[in-house]
Amino acid sequence: MNKPLKMALNILIFALIAGFGYYIIHSMRSNEKNSLPNVENTFVSPYKMTHSFDVDSDILSFYIFEHKIYIASVDKISIFDLLGNHQRDFVVKSGIRDITVDHSAIYVLYPTEIILYAFNGQKKHEWQACSDNSDYCALTTTKNFVFVTDAENKNIVQYDKEGRLVRFIRSPNGFIIPSYTFDIININDTIYTANSGRHRIESYTLEGEFITSFGKSGAQAGAFAGCCNPVYLAQTATGNILTSEKGNPRISSYGRDGKFRTILFDAEMLGGGTAAYKMQTFGENIYIANKKTISVYSFDATLSERACVNSCAGCPFR
């Protein structure tokens, strides 16, 4: 057999073998695909997005107060109205951990200090952490006090509004705080904080006394999975508690008594990923931050009727 003919024959044999192999693999994949159950995502949220707006850098924290949205980014505080119209900025130093606002000031939290700004952006007051190795995560205020979570010392630090130390608050269960997941909020002078390593939310009086805790480990609705959930907390106008989780991101609703109500947003609706989504509420609207975008969701009665079909908690949305 001459050399060209032998080469052509070898190519033909190789092509036949390759074609047969492709046919086998394709058939196996087709059979595997056909054998998978037809899984449909039946989740329906009672909220729909009404609008969104972008800022010019990643959102580190944000807070809504009296029809204004205060957004902390790398080195400034930006103020928007509720529709996303930019109003003004003022410069701050970098390294922000959290921001909150009340009638007295804009409070900007750093790992080892708190700086208060007037609403015109002028610095009013500041104080240093009361411990040399503090690593502050989040803060909330009441009429007379400022409460700050400290991941390094694993406690809550209570100050008065002048920055004087009132007390350290320690969990009777012990705070376990991986990854700075140590959020804190105030609902009608009851302090709620995440004990994320224990998959719990704990409540305290203004005197630092432990009230109760709720939450459990698990991936199912009404439980917290992973090493450290929930990540963020928020309150609704009716006094319910919203939780935002990472890993399989979702936002859920709980009553102040700790009873699970429902999941409001699943990972697909939020946009996926693994990071927890920052959130705030105003009226019946929920504001959700993701990187440089804030999306606004409003309650929809029609959607809530559909969502009730899949809710095991009796249509508990408001």
Q: How many CA atoms lie within 13 A of 62 on its CB side?
A: 32
Q: Count Cβ atoms below 10 Å from residue 300 Cβ, excluding itself.
A: 17
Per residue in 277-305, pLDDT (tens digit) is: 999 999 999 999 999 999 999 998 776 65
- Residue 244: predicted pLDDT: 98
- Residue 211: predicted pLDDT: 98
- Residue 132: predicted pLDDT: 83
Per residue in 239-287, pLDDT (tens digit) is: 999 999 999 999 999 998 999 999 999 999 999 999 999 999 999 999 9
Q: What is the pTM of this model?
A: 0.84
Residue 21: alpha-carbon gap to chain centroid: 48
The yes-or-no verdict on residue 177 having pLDDT over 80 is: yes
Residue 79 has φ and ψ, to the nearest 5°, of -120, 130
Exposed/middle/buried for 317, CB within 10 Å: 0-12, 13-18, 19+?
buried
